[in-house]
Structure 1
């Protein structure tokens, strides 16, 4: 299932949890990490588990949980507390390599047995670039990473802290500095190489909705599908940006049609432009994405 918008919701805030259900976000990320103070972890775990158990109809909106990093002693209690609620997936932050994803896979396999959950049904989205070491280990995902991994996103804020940077953007242009562009590129390329969904990074200025739209469209042009949201108002814009327009679909269908009308040709002309196999692949991707989104009803 393609997820366009992933909205973070603090796991210890009953009002925000309830409001999240009314939001157009394709998925809620019930957060047990950064938005919850250590002395409220037990409260948050209980609230998240109850919320999961209460809201079992998830055909429109999936419910995921961000746990604490695996090198934090809070992570295993997080998992054991929320798995009775059968989350659609777990968001794994601050990874160093694919090893953490595979470790989480093993924990989930045990907990699924304990809770009577279908084996392998709990998926993983990893935040792949929040540590300095993670920039050097993307190759580890190319060999034998867990099939639970269905998405990768990258993190610019925690990475800045890990690298000792005072900011992650060039003050003159507003664009990401080189280390963060590297993280973004590695995340995209790796996700595509292992055929999981590449998810765009958070846009922290939640009031700048026009800038958010431009950032979403830039991500989409680059090859990302979907984006993390930190404010409820961002989700509608994200959904629109990552939904193929009628014009996109019509053009993609024209590309497919002209190739089908000329079987055996690797290059064809359309509207004064020469098209080849990569254009056909892109057109098919657009149609497939539109069909997946429309299938939600």
Structure 2
């Protein structure tokens, strides 16, 4: 399976010529071409599908990771979305309003049927479920395990708060518990946890506060609404120079300890146990993935 880099996943309304054109130049790791919420009224959805397919065929996004956000199974648009957009340049789809594992299982089987009919290898198209209801948060582990196509899950906080009939407070405390549950569920099933959008798009100070919490909770990336957020998002979800130096030193000491038949290495008076070694390897692997992506 492809090892995805998902520090930033940026929404791009697919019915907008201007935004489709600018998307080819932004530095987001993943382009989430939107056929769902931002494409209104409904007649614009076919326009969005047609425009996106046209740009893809023009090779506007060659080499980019593409996950269109399609419409849910109750919308009447889902089959149209996937029939038209299951093309080789598309990596998979963001599936919205997933409430339980059954929704993802259904979508998995729909993709399987289309892959068979079009002659693709079964499992070609991956899935990122969008967790945006109270029931989805409560069923998040079931959603994570419903299909082997699931490579990440993402949190949609504004729809969640509306469904919860709660309030998105300025300190973001009302989002803390679902964020933690989503990140833990993703890590428990070895998939990538993606944090919610930052709705105060131009408030980069508040974005930085959120990113610190997000990284502490274990998230690996964030949904993005505006390119001005990308530099800060990439900074927090990329290893720092200090982390890289520390990780290289840990692996060096661990290697020396093994070569000298020592049970465990010691760094600045602290034991370098297996968890530290595993973390160091993850950090260095992520840096390699970033360099390859930028190369």
Q: What TM-score does the superposition give when structure 2 sets the normalisation length?
A: 0.90
Deviation digits for residues 144-203 of structure 1 (CA, Å, limit 9, x no counterpart): x211110011121001111112x222x4xx1321xx322111211111111111112111
Q: 1:136 to 1:265 in 2, by over 3 A?
A: farther
Runs of at least 5 residues in structure 1 that lack an aligned partner in the other structure: none
**Larger mean Cα displacement after TM superposition, 132-141 or 245-254:** 132-141
SS in 2 for 1:35: coil
Give distance in 1, aligned partners of 2:218 and 2:62. Answer: 27
SS in 2 for 1:205: coil
Q: What is residue 22 of structure 1 aligned with on the other side?
A: 25
Q: What is residue 41 of structure 1 aligned with on the other side?
A: 45
- What's the C-alpha RMSD, in Å, of the aligned pairs? 2.0
Give distance in 2, aligned partners of 1:288 and 1:9. Answer: 29
- Matched residues, number: 288
Q: 1:7 aligns with which of 10, 24, 29?
A: 10
Q: Say whether the 8 Å CA contact 1:52–1:85 is kept in structure 2.
A: no
Deviation digits for residues 67-86 of structure 1 (CA, Å, limit 9, x no counterpart): 11222222222222222464
Are 2:51 and 1:51 aligned?
Answer: no
Q: 1:190 aligns with which of 171, 185, 208?
A: 185
How far 1:11 moved relative to its partner? 1.0
Are 2:216 and 1:241 aligned?
Answer: no
Q: 1:224 to 1:6 in 2, by over 3 A?
A: same
Q: What is residue 98 of structure 2 aligned with on the other side?
A: 95
Q: Say whether the 8 Å CA contact 2:152–2:192 is kept in structure 1.
A: yes
Alignment of 1:73-92 (within 5 A): 73-84=76-87, 86-92=89-95
Give distance in 2, aligned partners of 1:40 and 1:164. Answer: 30
How far 1:56 moved relative to its partner? 6.9
SS in 2 for 1:183: helix
Give distance in 1, aligned partners of 2:263 and 2:60. Answer: 48
How far 1:266 moved relative to its partner? 6.0
Q: What is residue 168 of structure 2 aligned with on the other side?
A: 168
Q: What is residue 273 of structure 1 aligned with on the other side?
A: 270
Q: What is residue 106 of structure 1 aligned with on the other side?
A: 109
Deviation digits for residues 17-59 of structure 1 (CA, Å, limit 9, x no counterpart): 1101100111111101110111311211211222222227643
Q: Say whether the 8 Å CA contact 1:32–1:67 is kept in structure 2.
A: yes
Deviation digits for residues 100-129 of structure 1 (CA, Å, limit 9, x no counterpart): 12211111122223334343121111112x
SS in 2 for 1:7: strand
Q: Say whether the 8 Å CA contact 1:142–1:193 is kept in structure 2.
A: no
Deviation digits for residues 192-224 of structure 1 (CA, Å, limit 9, x no counterpart): 111111112111111012322332233223211
How far 1:236 moved relative to its partner? 2.3
Q: Say whether the 8 Å CA contact 1:153–1:198 is kept in structure 2.
A: yes
Give distance in 1, aligned partners of 2:244 and 2:148. Answer: 30
